[in-house]
């Protein structure tokens, strides 16, 4: 085992001429390899023994996540007092001169993810106990769910590209199983396949980029790659743009960036707890995390700096275009899915603008209020047995805890003051404003950042607008559904209350000019390469962002608050020309179906089928015929030749034995006569042949 403690200045903070000292984390960091291992072990244990346990395996799943949540919390708090930088590794194999290792990073970035995945995961797993009660595949669900969380923890703990890709693919496989949990429906199984294949296309970029970087440096380790950046390694610099672009394509797939976003709304086919964990703390944050892990590579001049223009443009398109689609969704979970896409766009745009801290801070706060929104939506669905807001209305009277917590999360998402989303959104706007005059003039980044800033402010209005619609149609007016709605069980609404507290207070750890705990603990390691983070409020951006949010709420309230006999009559606001485009999701899915899927199913599929039937089958069948004929020939030779010779030898030996047996009479007189005759023969032989 190797410990790389404070080996890179790129992993140390700079405050003027003073270098901040980091701790190695002691025993806590040394045994942090348990964080990904425990949920993976739980997944396998549930598969083999889950059905024999009193809670059918749930107790193993929630126990494993509780362990991660507790461990992550202790690390998170320890990191505030003294920053931790630790990298452990175990050598597994050699690939030429390059070591293949299992490693675990314990630094500000990974610790933040341990905390988020552990805490949010534990609350979601507790909630899922009641939500999934009675499910025909209850045990299998929690085995897959534990694998999902474990795969994400393998990914965020990875100290090298090989391990990151293992975690990356584990998350992909687990998401396929969970999205397609209700596989009896063709729509659900198709959604799982779509998510899997879209991610596989993007993953090609990750593989290519990882190979280019690792081969150039001669190591798979992130610390070695970042050290090469710090040393301005010429070999890495030569491939930096294309390697950085390829890795970002992989990140686009996992974090569902435009135009790879199409899989995420369909992933709502899975159970709601899956949606909550996927959108808040696991799969879709992986791409943002990857860009964060390699941030100096994208920020340093002479390397992949120009890729940042691509990152900020993709992030801006995602935050704006997908936010608009949320306006026309009737399925409450799909409203939240497009909201997630939009917020992921904000995170990526911040990374592209050079604001590492702002992008990750929004990832942090978003995890809590988005998990709360999805679990709140699940609580509503559990009560009314429908995903459609046309079957809702007036639920605040029947579901007080769900209503209160959902409103808290909506205000956090809209970015209202005191709520967590206000501080992280404001920091992104301030960073984009800073980038508009300080971002890579040589590649046109300043003007791009200005346009992105305008789109981000417009996105704040859109977010508040569609969340006001969602709250009004779901909780206000008269109930439009069937049956008797009711508040969810305590095991479901208590996690909502806890997440509600985080949705308010999570932003308080990084208030510009007042608290900087998040920046110090998570962002400090990249100050040396000029990560921009706000040290005071950017008042014009604060006012514009807040005005956009309040304007969206006011307009949405005016349009959707008045009740009607039916929800469809109530939800009649339309913008001609725009809404048909949004309802058809910009026809991107249709384009993919027409340009890729149908051709693959049609001529390409038929060609492959013909080749399979007429060429491959001919070769396989011919090989089978030859193997069968050879087998018959060998069998005949074995039966008639080898077996005949062996049987003849055995028969001859048996007959000779039978004859010799006749000489064994047991009579001493005959043996004496025989010995006498034998002695005479021997003497005669010496007499006649000895001369």
Residue 162, domain member (yes or no): no
The per-residue b/e assignment along 254-289, b for 16 or more CB within 10 angstroms, e otherwise, is bbbbbebbbbbbbbbbbbbbbbbbbbbbbbbbbbbb
Measured CA to CA, the distance from residue 38 to residue 664 in angstroms comes to 76
- pLDDT for position 4: 39
Whether residue 310 sits in one domain with residue 205: yes
Measured CA to CA, the distance from residue 583 to residue 324 in angstroms comes to 10
Measured CA to CA, the distance from residue 572 to residue 184 in angstroms comes to 34
Residue 366, domain member (yes or no): yes
The conformational region for residue 430 under phi > 0 = left, psi -120 to 50 = alpha, else beta, is alpha
Domain boundary among 554, 570, 585: 585
Measured CA to CA, the distance from residue 655 to residue 357 in angstroms comes to 95
Whether residue 414 sits in one domain with residue 351: yes
The answer to whether the beta carbons of residues 64 and 42 sit under 8 Å apart is yes
Whether residue 510 sits in one domain with residue 435: yes
Measured CA to CA, the distance from residue 256 to residue 224 in angstroms comes to 29
Residues 6+ away with beta carbon under 8 Å from 75: 25, 28, 29, 32, 84, 106, 111, 114, 115
- Tokens at residue 643, please? 């077996």
Q: First vs last Cα of the chain: how many Å apart?
A: 86
- pLDDT for position 19: 47
- Tokens at residue 655, please? 């007959």
- pLDDT for position 16: 41
Residue 485, phi then psi, degrees to nearest 5: -70, 155
Whether residue 395 sits in one domain with residue 338: yes
The answer to whether the beta carbons of residues 430 and 541 sit under 8 Å apart is yes
Q: Report how far apart, in Å, the C-alpha atoms of 616 and of each of 601, 609, 610, 611 are.
A: 19, 10, 9, 6
Domain boundary among 570, 585, 600: 585
Whether residue 371 sits in one domain with residue 229: yes
- pLDDT for position 656: 79
Residue 57, domain member (yes or no): no
- Tokens at residue 207, please? 């593989």
Whether residue 512 sits in one domain with residue 571: yes
The secondary structure of 622-670 as a DSSP string is HHHHHHHHHHHHHHHIIIIIIHHHHHHHHHHHHHHHHHHHHT----HHH
Residue 374, phi then psi, degrees to nearest 5: -70, -40
Measured CA to CA, the distance from residue 279 to residue 128 in angstroms comes to 15
The answer to whether the beta carbons of residues 507 and 420 sit under 8 Å apart is yes
Domain tally for the chain? 2
Residues 6+ away with beta carbon under 8 Å from 129: 55, 58, 62, 491
Whether residue 407 sits in one domain with residue 302: yes
Measured CA to CA, the distance from residue 196 to residue 169 in angstroms comes to 10
Q: Report how far apart, in Å, the C-alpha atoms of 337 and of each of 118, 252, 272, 284, 493 are.
A: 22, 16, 11, 11, 21
Measured CA to CA, the distance from residue 678 to residue 682 in angstroms comes to 6
- pLDDT for position 530: 54
Measured CA to CA, the distance from residue 199 to residue 175 in angstroms comes to 11
pTM of the model: 0.86
Whether residue 597 sits in one domain with residue 563: no
183, with CB counted inside 10 A (0-12, 13-18, 19+), is: middle
pLDDT along the chain (691 residues), means of 10: 40 42 83 96 96 94 97 93 88 88 93 96 96 93 96 96 96 95 90 93 96 95 93 93 96 95 93 94 94 93 92 96 96 96 96 92 97 96 93 94 97 96 95 83 70 96 97 95 90 96 95 88 60 78 96 96 91 91 92 83 74 83 86 79 77 76 71 78 76 55
Residue 341, domain member (yes or no): yes
The alpha-helical segments, DSSP class H, found in 158-280 are 161-179, 186-217, 222-230, 234-254, 263-266, 272-280
Q: What is the chain's Cα-based Rg?
A: 34
- Tokens at residue 659, please? 């004859």
Annotate 45-89 with three-state secondary structure.
HHHHHHHHCCCCCHHHHHHHHHHHHHHHHHHHHHHHHCCECEEEE
Residue 137, domain member (yes or no): no
3-state secondary structure of 386: coil
Domain that holds residue 648: 589-675
Q: Which residue has the tokens 């348990």?
A: 34
Measured CA to CA, the distance from residue 263 to residue 322 in angstroms comes to 13
Whether residue 517 sits in one domain with residue 405: yes
Whether residue 580 sits in one domain with residue 594: no
Residues 6+ away with beta carbon under 8 Å from 255: 284, 285, 286, 287, 288, 344, 347, 348
DSSP state of 91: E
Residue 611, domain member (yes or no): yes
Measured CA to CA, the distance from residue 691 to residue 673 in angstroms comes to 28
The answer to whether the beta carbons of residues 211 and 165 sit under 8 Å apart is no
Whether residue 599 sits in one domain with residue 546: no
* Consecutive H or E run containing 449: helix 445-475
The conformational region for residue 250 under phi > 0 = left, psi -120 to 50 = alpha, else beta, is alpha
Measured CA to CA, the distance from residue 284 to residue 213 in angstroms comes to 23
Domain boundary among 585, 600, 622: 585
Residue 202, domain member (yes or no): yes
Whether residue 437 sits in one domain with residue 342: yes
Q: Report how far apart, in Å, the C-alpha atoms of 79 and of each of 73, 109, 494, 658 are.
A: 10, 10, 28, 92
- Tokens at residue 18, please? 């003073």
Residue 526, domain member (yes or no): yes
């Amino acid at each position: 085992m190797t410990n790389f403690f404070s080996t890179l200045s790129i992993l140390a903070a700079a405050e003027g001429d003073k270098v901040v000292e980091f701790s190695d984390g002691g025993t806590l960091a040394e045994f942090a390899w348990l964080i990904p291992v425990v949920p993976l072990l739980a997944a396998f244990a549930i598969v083999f023994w889950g059905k024999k346990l009193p809670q059918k395996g749930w107790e193993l799943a929630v126990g494993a996540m509780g362990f991660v949540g507790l461990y992550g919390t202790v690390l998170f708090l320890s990191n505030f007092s003294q920053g931790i930088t630790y990298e452990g590794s175990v050598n597994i194999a050699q690939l030429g001169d390059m070591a293949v290792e299992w490693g675990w990073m314990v630094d500000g970035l990974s610790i933040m993810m341990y905390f988020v995945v552990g805490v949010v995961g534990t609350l979601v797993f507790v909630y899922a106990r009641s939500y999934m009660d009675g499910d025909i595949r209850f045990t299998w669900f929690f085995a897959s769910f534990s694998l999902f969380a474990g795969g994400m923890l393998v990914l965020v703990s990875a100290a090298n590209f090989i391990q990151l890709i293992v975690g990356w693919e584990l998350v992909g496989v687990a998401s396929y199983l969970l999205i397609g949990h209700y596989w009896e429906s063709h729509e659900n199984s198709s959604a799982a396949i779509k998510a899997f294949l879209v991610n596989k296309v993007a993953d090609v970029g990750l593989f290519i980029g990882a190979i280019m970087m690792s081969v150039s440096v001669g190591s798979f380790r992130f610390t070695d790659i970042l050290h090469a950046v710090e040393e301005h390694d010429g070999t890495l610099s030569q491939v930096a743009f294309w390697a950085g672009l390829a890795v970002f394509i992989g990140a686009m797939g996992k974090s569902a960036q435009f135009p790879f976003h199409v899989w995420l709304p369909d992933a709502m086919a899975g159970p709601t707890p899956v949606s909550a964990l996927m959108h808040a703390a696991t799969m879709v944050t992986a791409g943002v995390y990857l860009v964060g892990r390699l941030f100096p590579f994208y920020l340093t001049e002479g390397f992949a700096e120009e890729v940042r223009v691509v990152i900020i443009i993709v992030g801006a398109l995602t935050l704006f275009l997908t936010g608009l689609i949320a306006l026309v969704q009737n399925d409450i979970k799909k409203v939240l899915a497009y909201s997630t896409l939009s917020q992921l766009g904000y995170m990526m745009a911040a990374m592209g603008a050079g604001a590492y801290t702002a992008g990750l801070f929004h990832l942090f706060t978003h995890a809590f209020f988005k998990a709360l929104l999805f679990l709140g939506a699940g609580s509503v669905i559990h009560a009314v047995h429908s995903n459609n807001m046309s079957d809702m209305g007036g639920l605040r009277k029947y579901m007080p805890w769900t209503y209160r917590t959902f409103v808290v999360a909506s205000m956090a998402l809209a970015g209202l003051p005191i709520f967590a989303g206000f501080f992280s959104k404001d920091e992104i706007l301030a960073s984009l404003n800073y980038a508009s005059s300080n971002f890579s003039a040589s590649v046109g980044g300043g003007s791009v950042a200005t346009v992105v800033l305008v789109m981000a402010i417009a996105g704040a209005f859109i977010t508040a607008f569609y969340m006001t619609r969602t709250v009004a149609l779901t909780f206000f007016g008269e109930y439009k559904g069937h049956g008797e709605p009711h508040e969810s069980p305590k095991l479901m609404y208590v996690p909502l209350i806890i997440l509600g507290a985080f949705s308010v207070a999570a932003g308080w750890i990084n208030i510009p000019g007042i608290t900087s705990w998040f920046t110090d603990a998570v962002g400090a390691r990249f100050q040396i390469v000029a990560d921009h983070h706000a040290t005071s409020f950017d008042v014009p951006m604060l006012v514009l962002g807040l005005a956009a949010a309040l304007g969206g709420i006011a307009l949405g309230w005016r349009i959707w608050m008045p009740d009607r006999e039916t929800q469809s009559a109530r939800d009649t606001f339309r913008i001609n020309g725009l809404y048909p485009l949004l309802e058809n999701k910009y026809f991107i899915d249709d384009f993919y179906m027409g340009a890729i899927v149908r051709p693959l199913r049609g001529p390409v599929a038929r060609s492959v089928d013909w080749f399979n039937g007429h060429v491959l089958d001919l070769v396989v069948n011919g090989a089978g015929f030859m193997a069968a004929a050879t087998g018959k020939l060998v069998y005949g030779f074995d039966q008639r030749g080898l077996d005949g010779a062996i049987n003849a030898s055995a028969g001859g030996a048996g007959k000779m034995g039978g004859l010799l047996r006749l000489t064994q009479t047991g009579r001493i007189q005959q043996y004496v006569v025989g010995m006498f005759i034998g002695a005479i023969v021997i003497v005669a032989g010496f007499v006649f042949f000895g001369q």
